Chains A and B, each alone.
Chain A
Amino acid sequence: MLEKNVYSAFEKIVGERNISQDLAVMDSYAFQWCNEIESAQRGEEPQRFGVRPLAVLLPKSTEEVQAIVRFCNEHDIGYKAFCTGMGPWAGLSNPRAIQIDLRRMNRILEIDEKNMYAVIEPYVTNAQLQSELFEFGLMHHAQGAGPQTSPLASHTSFVGPGFTSPYTGFSGRNVLGVEWVLPDGAIIRLGSYDHNGKWFTGDGPGISLRGIMRGWLGAYGGLGVFTKAAIRLFSWPAPKEWKWKTSGTIPEYDWDIPPFWKMYVLNFEEWEEYQNAMYELSDREVTMVATTSAPEGLAALFTNTKQEAIESIFAGLLVKTRNYIVMLVAAHTEREFEFRTKLVQLIMEKYGGNDLIEEGVTVPKPMHYGETVRNMLGGHAFRFSNCFQSTHGGMDTIAMAVRLAQLNQPVKQKYIDKGVIGDDRGLGVWITSYESGHMAHMETPTVYDPTSVESCLGYAAFQDECNQMDLDEALGMPFFIVGDEVHNFYAERTMHYANWIRKIKAAFDPNGVSDSSHYVKGERKK
Chain B
Amino acid sequence: MIVASAYHKGRVKLTPEMLDVIYSCTNCGGCEVSCKWVYELEPNEAIHELRVAAVESGAGPMPNHKKYIELVERNKNPYGEDPKKRPGWLTDDITTNESSSTLYFVGCTASYRREEIAVATAKILNSAGEDFRLMGSDEMCCGSPVYRVGDEKKAKEIMKNNIQQFKEAGIEKIITSCSGCYNMLKVEYPRFVEHDIEIVHTSQIIEEFLRDGKIKLSEKVPMKVTYHDPCHLGRMAEPYIPWEGEKIEVLSQVYIYDPPKPERRGAGGVYDAPRNVLKQIPGLELVEMERIREYSYCCGAGGGCKSAYPDFSLWASNERLEEAESTGASTLVSACPFCGTNFKDGIESRKSKMEYFDLTELVLRSIGGSK
Chain A interfacial positions (CB closer than 8 Å to B): 20, 22-25, 27-28, 31, 47-49, 249-251, 296, 306-307, 310, 313, 379-380, 382-386, 416, 419, 421-423, 447-449, 455
Size of interface on B: residues with Cβ below 8 Å to A: 32
In the bound complex, residues from chain A placing their C-beta under 8 Å from that of B5 are 31, 48
Q: With a CB–CB cut-off of 8 A, which chain A residues contact B250?
A: 310
Pick from A24, A296, A383: contact of B3, CB under 8 Å: A24
Closest to B34 in A: A250
Complex interface: chain A residues within 8 A of B252 (CB) = 416, 419, 421-423
CA gap between A47 and B11 in the complex, in Å:
12
Task: Evaluate contact between A382 and B39: CB separation under 8 angstroms.
Answer: yes
Q: Is B326 interfacial (CB 8 A cutoff)? A: no
Shortest CB-to-CB span from B267 to chain A, Å, is: 4
Q: Which residues of B contact A448 (CB under 8 A)?
A: 253
- What's the Cα separation between A449 and B255 when bound, in Å? 11
Given A310-B251, A310-B254, A380 and B38 touching (CB < 8 A)? yes
- Other-chain residue from B11, B38, B251 in contact with A383 (beta carbon distance below 8 A): B38
- Which residues of A sit under 8 angstroms from B13, Cβ to Cβ? 23
Whether B17 sits at the interface, judged by CB under 8 Å, is yes
17 CB < 8 A contacts A-B: A22-B17, A23-B11, A23-B18, A24-B7, A24-B17, A24-B21, A25-B17, A25-B21, A27-B11, A31-B6, A249-B265, A249-B294, A250-B36, A251-B37, A379-B38, A385-B254, A422-B252
Give the residue name and chain of the A residue nearest to B16 (CB): A22
| A122-B3 Cα distance, complex, nearest whole Å | 25
Measured between beta carbons, the chain A residues less than 8 angstroms from B33 are: 250
**Contacts of A419 on B, CB cut-off 8 Å?**
252
Among A24, A296, A307, the residue within 8 A (CB) of B260 is A307
- CB–CB A422/B251 < 8 A: yes
Chain A, Cβ-Cβ closest to B37? A250
Q: How far does the Cβ of A222 sit from chain B's closest Cβ, in whole Å? A: 24
Q: Is the interface of A mostly helix, strand, loop or mixed?
A: mixed
**Which chain B residues lie closer than 8 Å to A447 at the CB level?**
253-254
Interface string of B243-287 (1 = CB under 8 A from A): 000000011111110001000011100000000000000000000
Contact of A24 among B6, B38, B254, B293 (CB under 8 A): B6
The answer to whether A27 and B12 touch across the interface, beta carbons within 8 angstroms, is yes
Looking at the complex, which one of B6, B40, B251 makes contact with A423 (CB distance below 8 Å)?
Answer: B251
Q: Is there an interface contact between B265 and A250, defined as CB atoms closer than 8 Å?
A: yes
Residues of B within 8 A of A307 (CB): 256, 260
Residue B15 CB within 8 A of the other chain: yes
- List of A residues within 8 angstroms of B267 by Cβ: 249-250
Closest to A313 in B: B251
B6→A385 contact, CB < 8 A: no
Interface set, chain B 1-46, CB cutoff 8 A to A: 2-3, 5-7, 9, 11-13, 15, 17-18, 21, 33, 36-40
Q: Which of B36, B253, B260, B293 has the most CB of A within 10 A?
A: B253
Chain B residues with Cβ below 8 Å from A455 are 253
Could you tell me the distance in whole angstroms from the C-beta of A1 to the nearest C-beta in chain B? 13
* Chain A min CB distance to B63 (Å): 19
> Does B253 lie within 8 Å of A421, measured CB to CB?
yes
A308, closest chain B residue (CB):
B260
From residue A37, how far is it (CB to closest CB) to chain B in Å? Answer: 14
Within 8 A of A (CB), among B80-103: none
Partner of B17, one of A20, A384, A385: A20
Complex-state Cα separation, A4 to B361, whole angstroms: 57
| Per-residue contact bits, chain B 30-67, to A (CB 8 Å; 1 contact, 0 not) | 00010011111000000000000000000000000000
A48, B267: Cα distance in complex, Å: 31
* Best-buried of B18, B251, B256 by chain A (most CB within 10 Å): B251
**Chain B nearest Cβ from A375, distance in angstroms:** 13
A296 to B21 alpha-carbon distance, docked (Å)? 40
Contact B294 A250 (CB under 8 A): yes
B20 CB → nearest A CB, Å: 9
Assembly CA distance A416 to B254 (angstroms): 12
CB–CB A22/B256 < 8 A = no
Distance of A306 Cα from B33 Cα, bound (Å): 17
* Complex alpha-carbon distance, A422 and B293, angstroms: 38
Q: How far apart sit A47 and B8, CA to CA, in the bound complex (Å)?
A: 13
Query: Measured between C-beta atoms, what is the minimum distance from A58 to chain B in Å?
Result: 14
Which residues does chain B contribute within 8 Å of A28, judged by CB atoms?
2-3, 6
Across-interface contacts of B256 in A (CB, < 8 A): 306-307, 310
Cα separation A313 to B18 with both chains bound (whole Å): 44
Contact A251 B11 (CB under 8 A): no
Decide if B40 touches A386 in the complex (CB within 8 Å).
Answer: yes
Residues of A within 8 A of B253 (CB): 384-385, 421-423, 447-449, 455
